[in-house]
Amino acid sequence: MLTHLDDLHQPTMVDVGTKGVTRREATARAVVVFPPEAWAQLHAETGKDWIGPKGPITATAVVAGIQAVKRTSDLIPLCHPLPIEGVSITVSAVSEATLEVLCTVRTTHKTGVEMEALTGASVAALTLYDMTKALSHAIEIRSVTLVTKTGGKSDSGSLHGPA
């Protein structure tokens, strides 16, 4: 059953008034893949610090992702505004020409932070693309997935492999 539709199949915001307050955490992953020539050029032009003409590439992506987490309810119409207690975003090379963004969001509230984690990972990946698109428009954001979700009655733990 889709929880964001009422009995008349109209969009509705879920009533969380009777749900219990629990500690909730979610981690999402985004994968950004560079063409080999763009990856080589990125390293040649930015060095180990990943500083490009637009500024610090990974640091900018992290800040953009954190901003996106805080604005999720403004972007996704039926999301509840939540008091975000913590956000952790990392960007790391997981293989040749592939970056992984991990975004973990925490709150103590009546509803989970999956959408916030997914939004943070997505916007961080989009920012990586924006910061490096001058090298190639063939850079791909291949996936954005929920990795873990804990807290609440549907505590799922790991969903898509290790974070």
Active-site residues, by number, are: 130
Q: Which contacts (CB < 8 Å, 24+ apart) does range 69-74 have? A: 69/103, 69/105, 69/116, 69/117, 69/119, 69/120, 71/119, 72/115, 72/116, 72/119, 72/120
Asked if residues 101 and 90 have their Cβ atoms less than 8 Å apart, the reply is: yes
Tokens of 148: 């873990």
Q: Are strands 98-109 and 22-33 parallel, antiparallel or unpaired?
A: antiparallel
